Structures are given as structure tokens and as C-alpha cells.
Amino acid sequence: MRALDRKLLRDLWRIRAQALAIALVLACGVAVLVLGTGTQSTLTETRDAWYERNRFADVFARATRAPRALLDAIAEIDGVAQVEARIARLVVLDMPALAEPAMGWVISVPDAGDPVLNQPLVRRGTLPDPHRDDAVAVSEPFAEAHGLRPGDGFDAVLNGTLRRLTVSGTVLSPEFIYTMGPGTMIPDDLRFGVLWMGQAALAAAFDMDGAFDDVALRLTPGAREAAVIAALDHLLAPYGGQGAHGRDRQLSHGFLDSELQQLGAIALILPPVFFVVTAFLVNMVLGRLIALERLQIGLLKAVGYSTGAVAAHYLKLALAIGGCGVAIGWLAGAWLAAGMAGLYADFFRFPYLVYRPEPVAFAVSGGLALATVVAGALRAVWRTVRLAPAVAMSPPAPPRYARGLADRVAAVVRLRQTSMMILRSVTRYPGRAAVTVFGVMAATAIMVASLFTFDAMDAMMEDFFYTANRAQVTLMLSEARGDGVLLEAARLPGVLRAEGHASVPIRLRHGPHDRTLRLEAQAADATLIRVLDRDGRVVPVPPRGIALPATLAQAWDIAPGDLVAVEFLVPPRETHLLPVTALTRQSMGQDAHMDADALSVLLRQAPQVNRIDLLIDTEALGDLHAAVKATPAVAGVMLWDDTRARFRSEIQANLWTMVAIYATLGTLVTVGVVYNAARIQLSERAHELASLRVLGFSRADVAWVLMGEVLLLTLLALPLGWVAGYGFAAATAAGLSTEFVSIPLVVTRATYGAATVVVGVAAVASVVLVRRQLDRVDMVSALKARE
């Protein structure tokens, strides 16, 4: 081993604690990058394999009642490879384990052979026997939630008739990876399930012999999806077509795709913070080490080592620290990615997991990490090694001291000598102080950006469940009815108020943009379901025009007053140019809003409702449940109290896991920065601190000189961290927001307080560790140390 290599190992051992702190900060950035991209690639591979093996469709459409003879024309559309026509209806389920009614989405399967598209994967039992009109296969999550096995039975209301159904098997489907009931925000396997029933049995139950109301298409490679959708809409229009759409608007795929986008955003936003902090730390530690070895550098160059060899020696030291960080980051990232992918696979109920670590992520993260430590080391290395041997072997010129502003301020406020020493050190070495401030600021920003997710979720819940939606129960009707049905709903047990709501499909066009979405219409005096403006204030439904989500308006460059083309996908299927009269804030989905009377005028029909929102007396809830189960017109029920409780428990459990990870990352950054700053202070000022002890200063006074500067810089960094954290939270909210979920930017005082406590405790703990080393400093050796 060459002499410089032996020196390298000795140097690493001597600064092992500082090197490990830097390596851990670097490892955090590497691990997050590997975690985000690794989990994303694993889930993408698994999803694509699941879709391909079970023939997940490319285009989906709903209609009121279309004849099966139309399927030949649909199959002839250019670009269509396969067609699957089905019957799909929302039904009320009476489950033994629930007092309240549950909901089910029942889908037909061919009586002969397996489905062509969206093939269910049988996990237990079989698909329903076509010769039995009571056999159903149920989704595995719903079966597990209710303990259902093949042969078990439960009751369902099919088209107003109570039927006893028998479970033939449990299945998983690529169409329902993310299984959400109508109007809900998260899956609820206890209260919503998917059922598969034989084609003939379901057609007889809903009077759909020779007809279908749901169709799925698979396209040929290279087919133009937009052209296929337009042709399919044209064919289905006479039969109540509600607007075809691609996978991007399919609910399950859309939410899964949103999760994948969020993982990509995390991998893009977080790692740069850790890399920048690492670069500063490397520069700070290596700069101090080189300054201490100035004489050795001069001797090495005097005996024949070239400038390049000496520079390479210190760069190799930085690379060794970086390599340690990369190794730790790769191992931690791969382990976390495998665990995270497994959690996602369980949550989305993938039948298998295709775990393929992304080699590019390892290569990119390792390359960026090593480039980071080299960039951090270059300035410190080049500044010293380029000196001539005679200059390097000479002691550096002593710093010039002069009374500056800090001294005059200290004299006015009469600071103690030890406090004046702290203030002078900060003002005379601003670069070193800035590094510490930046590192603590970054750690605080990470904590603020992680904890803000609690604030965002609370704001979403407040908007969705309390401010915008004050209903306790929502009844979904099997078909649109006149508003006289509200009088019948008001007579149900325990109902205190009933309000109608109409939801119709529309196709919205503006410039080059085109999208199918739902138009929600309600009475101007509605109090249970309300509209919020962009600031979260309750506003009345505009008496004219249309209200659009602010996120959609921003994406399409729409401002209030602009005209948009609205094609109503219900009779009489006309297109109207309507002014945008308001922009709304929505946490989930993107729905347009309109006054119910204005909608009736446009559709030239009497007011109709297909949803009823109820305010109820909770004492009569049991009687209401029984009445709803016996009401043929009701196709589904939403119990908002249960939905709120489940959403809160699910979200908070996931958030606590995420916050624990971010708190660990923020703590590691704080410890890495503060510990290194304090260690450098101790090594630089050992002679000075020992002199203070000889002059009679107590251990506490000497410790204050060491600890006070770092703690002062920490206090200065915290407000800057709050500001940076708010910006970081804004970037996180923008990165995590998707078409289906809009993350509000809300940061409360409690979040700033919690971030301050975590960073403050980590900083104090780091300083205390170095303070213990101060007590072990030998004063005689320190006094003999070279100035």
C-alpha cells in the first residue's frame, strides 16, 4: 500500500464520526431516490403485467340501453381489436355483519366462456354457474372483510327485488385495483364490493335481454384513441351513451397512476436537498482537515509529490466518504423499496409482485452522490494544494482583528466576554456560519414539508366532509326521477331534511382541450351540499353559467367570463356555449357545478334528481336502514359518518409512517450539520478554550463558547427554515396533486412548532455529544498546539 493510501485510511479513522455523519446525510438522498424510482418501477411493471395477462381494456363507455346488435358496428371501428359488452348496475346489499346497507357494483360475465376483456382472476371457487340465477363471484377484499367463502350467502336488492345470492368464488380484477364506491375518497371493503353474475341471470333481473349498458374495448397497436372514442360516442349516442373515455379517466387506473406520479415527484423533490447539504458538509470538514495538514502538504510537495497527486489524495478521501454513503443509501433504498412495493401491492390487491429494482436509479443516484462529494471537496482541495512547498510549510498569516460593528453592539449591550467571543466568531467567519445555517434550515424545511401533509389532509377533510358536504346519508337512485321523490324521502324514518341533486355526464370543450366529466346541479337554497370558492369559502351556486374547478381552469387557461362548450350527454344531447361564472375548490375529482333550475331550462325538462342528501335523527338510524333496504328506487347508500371515520384512520396511519421517515431524515441532516460544525469548532479553538480554563473560566463558561455559537446559528436558521419549508411544502403539494386529488397548501403554526422542536432537540443532542468530548480535552496538549 502506498504511503498516501495509508495516510488516507488514518485520516478516515481520525474523522470517522464526522465522515459517518456526512455519509448518512448523503445516504438519505440516495435512499430516497432509489426508494421512489424503485417502488415506482416495481409497481409499473406489476401493473403492466397484470393488465396484459388479464386483458385490461383501453376504452370504456356507459349507455342507458344499447342493443347487442350494435356490437358488430363497434367491432368494425378502425383500431378496435376486441369488444366486451356487459350489464353493470349499482345495487344495495344486505350483509349479515352490517346493520346499515352496503353497496355493490354487479357486472355480467358471459354464460359461455370467460370474459374477453377485464378478465377476473379466480382466487377461490369458480366464476358463477350460468345455469344458476343466484350465483355470484365477489371481489376478494369484500369477501375477506365479511368472511365470505364459496357457498355462503347474502341478500341483495336487484331492480327493486330482494334476492338471496350465493357466493361461487372470490376474484381479483385488473379493472378494480383501487375499488372505490360512488362518492367516496378511499376504498371501503366492508361497505362496497364488486360482484360478477351470469349474463342471462343479470339481464333477467334488470330487463336487459338482448341489450347492454356497459362496453369495453381493446385497441390495436398504434390505434388513435381519440378517433375510436369519437366513433364509439357516435354509435352509442342514440342509446343514452354517457361519453366514452380512455384508461386515464377510468377510476381505478387513474388513482393508481396518481400514486405512481406522486412517487416520481418524491424522487424528484427530496434528493437534491440532501445532496446540496452533503456538498456543504464535505467542503466544511475537508477544508478544516486540509488547513490542519497544511504543513504535511508542504512536506509532501517538497519530497516530490506532485500537486495532482496531493489533490487526488484528498479527493479520494471525499470519494471514500461518498462511497460509504452510496453503499448505505443503496442498501437502505433497495430494502425500503421492496417493503414499500409490498405495502402498495397489498393495498392495491395485486395478485403478484414483479419486483425489478431499477438499475438506472442505482447508477444515477450513485453518480450524483459521488459528483456531490467531489464538488464539495474541489474548492477546499484546490485552495491549499496549489500553494508552493515553502508557502505551505509556513504558518498561515494570522487573521487581522479589528473592532467591527459586532464589537460595538456587544459593548453597548454589555455582553459577557464569552458571549462576545461567540459573536466575533460568527461575524469573522461568515462562510462557515452560513454552511451551518443552511444545513439547519434544510433540515427544518424537510420537517415542515413532511408535517404539512397532516394540515393538508385536515383541510381536505374539512372541505370535503364538513364545509362542502354536511349530509349524513346520501341515497343514490337507480334512475333519475322528478323532484317529487324528495317528499317520499322526507317521509323515511328519522329524516329531518332532504335535498335533491342531479348529476349528469357532459363533455367540456375549450380551445384544444376536451374532457368528459360530471355536472352537479343543485337548488340555490341547498344547505347540505355546498360549493366552495378558491379560498374555501361557501358560495351560492351561480344562477347562470357554469362553475368549474380552479385546477381545471388553470390547466386550460380559463378565466371567469370565458365561454366553454358544454355537450350534454343526456337527452336531448345538445351543445351549449356557457359562460364560466365561478371557479371552485375541490379536493377530490373535478366536477362542474350548475344551478338546478338553469339545468332544467337547458335540458327542456322538469327538474329531476338522481341523488338525495339527507339530514337525519341518528336515534332513528336503524329504522332508516331497514326502510332503505326495502325501497326499490334506491340503488346505493352512502353513510358519511362512517366514511369520515374510515378516511381519517386510513390517512393518519399512512401519514404517521411517512412522517416518521421524514423525521428521521430531518434529524440525520440536523445531526450531520450541527455535529460537524461543533467538532470543527472544537478542533479549531482547542487552544483558545484551554486558555480560558487556565485563566479561571469554569467548564460551563468554556462549554458555552463552544455550544453557544452553534445554538445561535441554529436559532438564526429556524425562521429561514420555516420560509424554505413553506416553499418546499408548496412544491410538494404541486408535485403530489393530480387530476383526481388536489393537495391544498396549508401549513399551521403547530407544524412550524413541531418542526422546530424536532430540529432543536437534534441540534442540542449533537452539541451535547461534542461538549462531552470537550471535557476530555487535555489542556496541556491543547496549550502546546500550534496556533
Q: Is 401 part of any domain?
A: no
DSSP state letters, 8-31: HHHHHHHTHHHHHHHHHHHHHHHH
Query: 403: which residues sit within 8 A by CB, 6+ positions away?
Result: none
Same domain (yes/no): 610, 646: no
Amino acid residing at 616? I
Question: 3-14 and 16-53 helices cross at what angle (nearest 10)?
Answer: 90
Same domain (yes/no): 606, 646: no
E strands, 262-380, in order:
none
Q: How far apart are the C-alpha atoms of 413 and 361, rounded to whole Å?
A: 55
pLDDT tens for 698-751 read 676 677 776 777 788 888 889 998 999 898 888 878 777 776 677 888 899 988
Identify the pLDDT of residue 563: 93
Same domain (yes/no): 509, 602: yes
Q: How far apart are the C-alpha atoms of 170 and 6, rounded to whole Å?
A: 65
Mean pLDDT of 657-668: 72
pLDDT tens for 198-207 read 999 999 999 9
Residues facing 102 on adjacent strands? 93
Per-residue pLDDT for 615 more than 70? yes
Same domain (yes/no): 707, 596: no
More confident residue, 477 or 107: 107
Element (H, E) at 479: strand 473-482
Q: How far apart are the C-alpha atoms of 220 and 80, rounded to whole Å?
A: 6
Same domain (yes/no): 433, 522: no
Position 118 confidence tier, pLDDT thresholds 50, 70, 90:
very high
Q: Is 372 part of any domain?
A: no
Least confident of 30-39, 474-483, 666-675, 753-762: 666-675
Identify the pLDDT of residue 397: 59
Question: How much of the chain is in helix, strand and coil states, percent to nearest 5?
Answer: 55, 20, 25
pLDDT tens for 269-312 read 778 878 887 887 787 777 777 766 767 777 777 777 777 777 88
Same domain (yes/no): 420, 539: no
DSSP state letters, 142-190: HHHHHT--TT-EEEEEETTEEEEEEEEEEEE-GGGSS---TT-SS--TT
More confident residue, 413 or 296: 296
Tell me which residue of 115, 159, 96, 114 sits closest to 133, measured CA to CA. 159
Identify the pLDDT of residue 232: 94
Amino acid residing at 449? A
Asked if 603 and 570 count as a contact pair (C-beta separation under 8 A), the reply is yes
Element (H, E) at 94: strand 88-94
Helical H segments across 581-696, by residue range = 596-603, 621-629, 640-684, 686-694
CA 724 to chain centre: 20
Position 344 confidence tier, pLDDT thresholds 50, 70, 90:
confident
Task: Give me the residue label for grid cell 487581522.
Answer: 400
Asked if 502 and 610 count as a contact pair (C-beta separation under 8 A), the reply is yes
Q: Is 348 part of any domain?
A: no
Q: What is the residue-averaged pLDDT of the chain?
A: 83
Mean pLDDT of 327-333: 90
Show the cell assigned to 755.
418542526
Number of structural domains, the chain? 3
Give how far Cα 498 sits from Cα of 467, 485, 613, 667, Å: 18, 10, 6, 52
Identify the pLDDT of residue 214: 94
Same domain (yes/no): 62, 204: yes
Element (H, E) at 235: helix 225-236
| The pairing of beta strand 592-595 with beta strand 513-522 | parallel
Per-residue pLDDT for 575 more than 60? yes
- 223: helix, coil or strand? coil
Same domain (yes/no): 117, 180: yes
DSSP 533: B
Q: Which of 233, 258, 283 is the last residue of a domain?
A: 258
Q: Is 268 part of any domain?
A: no
Asked if 480 and 608 count as a contact pair (C-beta separation under 8 A), the reply is yes
Cβ count near 465 (within 10 Å) = 19
Query: 743: which residues sit within 8 A by CB, 6+ positions away?
Result: 456, 460, 732, 733, 736, 737
Identify the pLDDT of residue 787: 45
Range picked from 21-35, 82-96, 469-483, 664-678 for highest mean pLDDT: 82-96
Q: How far apart are the C-alpha atoms of 440 and 678, rounded to whole Å?
A: 13
Per-residue pLDDT for 65 more than 80? yes
Asked if 168 and 218 count as a contact pair (C-beta separation under 8 A), the reply is no
Query: 281: which residues sit within 8 A by CB, 6+ positions away?
Result: 21, 22, 25, 376, 435, 439, 672, 673, 676
Q: Which of 583, 616, 649 is the last residue of a domain?
A: 616
Q: Is 736 part of any domain?
A: yes
Identify the pLDDT of residue 350: 87
Mean pLDDT of 230-250: 90
Position 525 confidence tier, pLDDT thresholds 50, 70, 90:
confident
Q: Which of 258, 281, 297 is the last residue of a domain?
A: 258
Same domain (yes/no): 651, 692: yes
pLDDT tens for 70-108 read 999 999 999 999 999 999 998 989 888 888 888 899 999
Asked if 283 and 384 count as a contact pair (C-beta separation under 8 A), the reply is no
Q: Is 309 part of any domain?
A: no
Q: Is 38 part of any domain?
A: no
Domain residues for the domain of 502 are: 495-616
- 582: helix, coil or strand? strand
Same domain (yes/no): 569, 715: no
Cβ count near 345 (within 10 Å) = 18
Q: How far apart are the C-alpha atoms of 444 and 714, rounded to whole Å?
A: 10
Same domain (yes/no): 83, 225: yes
Mean pLDDT of 228-238: 92
Q: Is 351 part of any domain?
A: no
Mean pLDDT of 120-143: 92
Residues facing 165 on adjacent strands? 154
pTM score? 0.77
pLDDT tens for 147-182 read 999 999 999 988 888 889 999 999 999 999 888 777
Q: Percent of the chain, pLDDT > 90?
A: 25
Identify the pLDDT of residue 693: 64
Mean pLDDT of 577-604: 88
Range picked from 399-408, 461-470, 594-603 for highest mean pLDDT: 594-603
Query: 43: which residues sit within 8 A by CB, 6+ positions away?
Result: 256, 259, 260, 263, 341, 344, 345, 348
Same domain (yes/no): 449, 582: no
Asked if 568 and 603 count as a contact pair (C-beta separation under 8 A), the reply is yes
